[in-house]
Amino acid sequence: MAEAAGVSVSTVSHVVNNTGARIGQDARERVRRAIEDLGYRPNAMAKNLVKGASRFLGLVADAIASTPFAGQIIHGAQDEAWQHGYVLLVANTEGNQGAEASAISMMLEHKVRGILYSTWYHRAIDLPAGLAEADTVLVNCYSTGHPVPAVVPDESTGGRDATQMLVDQGHQRIAFLNTRTPSPARDGRLAGYRQALQSAGLPFDPSLVAEVQPDQEGGYAAVDHILATRATGVFCHNDRVAMGLYDGLRDRDLHVPTDVSVVGFDNQEVIAAHLHPTLSTVALPHYELGRRGVRVLLGLDVIERPGPLAVACPCVPRNSITRPSRV
Amino acid sequence: MAEAAGVSVSTVSHVVNNTGARIGQDARERVRRAIEDLGYRPNAMAKNLVKGASRFLGLVADAIASTPFAGQIIHGAQDEAWQHGYVLLVANTEGNQGAEASAISMMLEHKVRGILYSTWYHRAIDLPAGLAEADTVLVNCYSTGHPVPAVVPDESTGGRDATQMLVDQGHQRIAFLNTRTPSPARDGRLAGYRQALQSAGLPFDPSLVAEVQPDQEGGYAAVDHILATRATGVFCHNDRVAMGLYDGLRDRDLHVPTDVSVVGFDNQEVIAAHLHPTLSTVALPHYELGRRGVRVLLGLDVIERPGPLAVACPCVPRNSITRPSRV
DNA sequence: CTGAAAGCGCTAACAA
DNA sequence: TTGTTAGCGCTTTCAG
């Protein structure tokens, strides 16, 4: 800035960062005024250069866009990073290998403190080359090869809690409309479903679980099957399936929850909070995933046990569940 | 890096950036090998320092999260920025004044090339202090005070096109379920609605336009009113209202589109593409907004006329419109 | 209390 | 074809 303030650079540095250095009132004042007048801003890059470390955190995502709530990961990461004085460098790679590689090396060149690598749906990944060069944590995904710290949703506890909401109301025949796509979500939620049944002393009846396309169409198409099972409650793999199920049920003049109780998964606001009746569901903790991701990156949280850190999926009870009219 | 390669820094600089400088094969090779061995990465911050300009673009958003598609703005901005060698610094402020101010000054300190300031719904804003210090473009909002470049959706053309889809199928009594929230969207879409009627030679009947809460509940509650108007087609302020309307109609055993044709706005994928029947709508061009925002920021696009640059809202015809059964 | 000087990693003349 | 040198804007000893 300016020794237009009539002092040396080091003096300026001291007052700007107010280090412990004892600086006289007059000098201090002169600097303040010069800052004011010149509209001076310290140059963060020069600062980082000399400090040898930046305040950047990289976030590379395979799809900021594809799914409505994926943005929540960024949001959570950003909030937590910010709180610790870090700034997020965001790169979207749309799954493109080349983009991914150049995003990562750009981050490395900016000497980021670390990199968060996130996917829009929970899955196993092959660790992109380059990530090894930096502190990395995986968000919403995990590496089967190298043991890289990872943060993922706790699918099975989520599945258990979803089922439990039905059990709590006295349902005994509970169907599960799972996805047909192989994934941690499919396996985890199924495990949770079985767990809830078991702890309730209910038998596991394979005919009660069906695999469908994980969207409205899948739920809609499954109505007849559900009706045939004479289930009184249905746990849907996600809110979209539940929405399709609502539609199908209504087409047969059946009513949620009086005829059939329904519970979803994901807590996709636009849907769950506004269906008729509003949908009880279990939330995918995207915001929390992002937040925890930076916490483990910064060493604020420690992953105790081997394997990914499982983040709880909170229940969001609404109005799609009631006691069964028959048993 | 290393004169461990046995050459001078400037030689390294030349081969890394391959400037036109003629460098001998041996030296070139030695540098390459040293880069390889040392895992050398040029320090972007040092480079920026000496160049006096960074390759950063700032994006401050009032809510990355709140609305599902807001993330698309980031996505579009990121893609376009990336393409021109810029990196996005993202900050979410959740509307918080303090966060906003510190986000902006952090960006200024990093000597960003410019700042994109975006809001999650189209509206007028007061320009945050500090933005004046940088090249700024407003995205999805505009300043009434200072004439800052802005990029917004073309609400009125969107409203016209939405209505036109109904007109094209021969509808003559077209209702409009507008939002009651004062906003550019409300005014623009209404203007477009009137424009379409007029150019079709249809009268504007104020009793055909109602203002509702802009979500599913609003659409649901408006069914009786719609029925009373004997409209054959309904233009809904957004897809959520349309979804509510679907629900209400079905409760009265009425069918879309045979009994009533419906068109939405926003093109909120989760909803519009999966309703029964799928919803014809007009898309809010969030991705494009972000993209154009960086283009005007970088001077690649020029805003000719005064006022915000209006980005087209494309029609997305699906299956909720048919010819009216009665006129 | 304050300033001089070295140096962070790099680029850009300019010499050699 | 390659090396030397002077900074970019800042922090940080170390002297005064």
What are B181-199's pLDDT values in tens digits? 999 999 999 999 999 999 9
B264 C-beta neighbours (distance < 10 Å), count:
32
d(C-alpha B314, C-alpha A161), whole Å: 42
Q: What is the pLDDT of residue B203?
A: 98
Residue B327 has what pLDDT? 64
Would the CB atoms of A90 and B90 count as touching at under 8 Å? yes
d(CA B293, CA B289): 6
Buried/exposed A103-137: b ≥16 CB within 10 Å, e otherwise: bbebbbbbbbbbbbbbbbbbbebebbebbeebbbb
pLDDT at B25 (0 to 100): 84
Q: How many angstroms away from the CA of B32 is the closest CA of chain A?
A: 17
Of the pLDDT bands very low, low, confident and very high (cuts 50, 70, 90), residue A267 is very high
Q: What is the mean pLDDT of residues A124-137?
A: 93
Whether the pLDDT of residue A68 is over 80: the answer is no
**Which residue matches tokens 């995207």?**
A286
Q: Is B244's Cβ below 8 Å from some Cβ in A? A: yes
Cβ count within 10 A of residue A52: 9
**Closest amino acid to nucleotide D7 (CA–C1'):** B50
Does the structure show a pLDDT above 70 at A3? no
Residue A18: its pLDDT value, please?
84
pLDDT of A112 above 90: yes
A221 contacts in chain B (CB < 8 Å): none
Chain-centre distance of CA A118, in angstroms? 9
Q: How far is B39 from chain A (nearest CA, A)?
A: 9
Per-residue pLDDT at A6 exceeds 90: no
Q: What mean pLDDT comes out for the span B161-174?
A: 98
Predicted confidence band at A145 (pLDDT cuts at 50, 70, 90)? Answer: confident
Read off the pLDDT of each residue in A170-177 and give the average, rounded to a whole number.
Answer: 98
- pLDDT at residue B80 above 70? yes
pLDDT given for residue B108 in this prediction:
95
> Taking CB atoms and an 8 Å cut-off, how many pairs form between chains A and B?
139
Summarised one tens digit per residue, pLDDT across range B43-74 is 999 999 999 889 999 999 998 766 777 788 99
B50 CB near a chain A CB, below 8 Å? Answer: no
Q: Do A88 and B89 touch (CB under 8 A)?
A: yes
**pLDDT exceeding 90 applies to what percent of chain A?**
78
Residue A262 confidence (pLDDT):
98
CA pair distance A187, A217, nearest whole angstrom: 21
Mean pLDDT, rounded, of chain A = 93
What is the predicted pLDDT for the residue at A71? 84
**Residues making up chain B, counted from first to last:** 327
Give the nearest partner residue to A90 out of B44, B88, B106, using CB atoms: B88
Q: Find the mean pLDDT for residues A243-267.
A: 96
pTM for the predicted model, two decimal places: 0.92
B269 chain-A contacts, CB cut-off 8 A: 68
List C-alpha distances in Å: B140 to A145, B107, B117, B130, B150. Answer: 43, 20, 9, 19, 8
A65 band by pLDDT with thresholds 50, 70 and 90: low
Query: Mean pLDDT over residues B149-165, rounded?
Result: 98
Check whether A326 has a pLDDT greater than 80: no
The CA distance from A262 to A237, in Å, is 11
Q: Which residue is nearest to nucleotide C7 (CA to C1')?
A: A50
Which residues between 219 and 238 in chain B have a beta carbon less than 8 angstroms from any beta carbon of chain A? 220
The pLDDT value recorded for residue A2 is 58
pLDDT of residue B255: 96
Residues with CB under 7 A from strand C: A 6-11, 14, 21-24, 26-28, 46, 49-50, 52; B 1, 9-10, 12-13, 16-17, 19, 41-43, 46-47, 49-51
Residues in A 176-205 whose C-beta is less than 7 A from nucleic strand D are none
* Average pLDDT, rounded, for chain B: 93
Q: State yes or no: pLDDT of A1 exceeds 80.
A: no
A91 to B87: CB separation less than 8 angstroms, yes or no:
yes
| C-alpha to C-alpha distance for A128 and A148, rounded to whole angstroms | 12
Q: Is the CB of A53 under 7 A from strand D?
A: no
Residue B290 in contact with partner chain A when CB distance is under 8 A: no
Residue A250, chain B, CB below 8 Å: the answer is yes
Instruction: Give the closest residue to C11 (Cα–C1′).
Output: B50
Which amino acid would we find at residue A232? T
Residues A180-204, mean pLDDT to the nearest whole number? 98
Confidence of residue A40 (pLDDT cuts 50, 70, 90): very high
Let me know: does B47 contact B111? Beta carbons within 8 Å.
no
Output the pLDDT for position B42.
93
Q: What number is the average pLDDT over the span B25-37?
A: 87
Q: What integer pLDDT is reported at residue A135 of this predicted model?
A: 96
Best residue of B47, B276, B287, B294 to probe chain A, by most A CBs closer than 10 Å: B276
CA distances from B155 to A183, B171, B313 (A): 41, 22, 7
In B, residues 162-201, which contact A (CB 8 Å cutoff)?
none
Integer Cα distance of A64 and A190 in angstroms: 28
- Confidence bin at A263 (pLDDT 50/70/90): very high
pLDDT tens-digit series, residues B261-316: 999 999 999 899 999 999 999 999 999 999 999 999 999 999 999 999 999 999 99
Q: What is the secondary structure of B166-226 as a DSSP string?
A: HHHTT--SEEEEEESS-SHHHHHHHHHHHHHHHHTTPPP-GGGEEEE-SSHHHHHHTHHHH
pLDDT band with cut points at 50, 70 and 90 for residue A284: very high
More reliable by pLDDT, A10 or A231: A231
Give the model's confidence band at A66: pLDDT under 50 very low, under 70 low, under 90 confident, else very high.
low
CA A126 vs. chain centroid, Å, equals 19
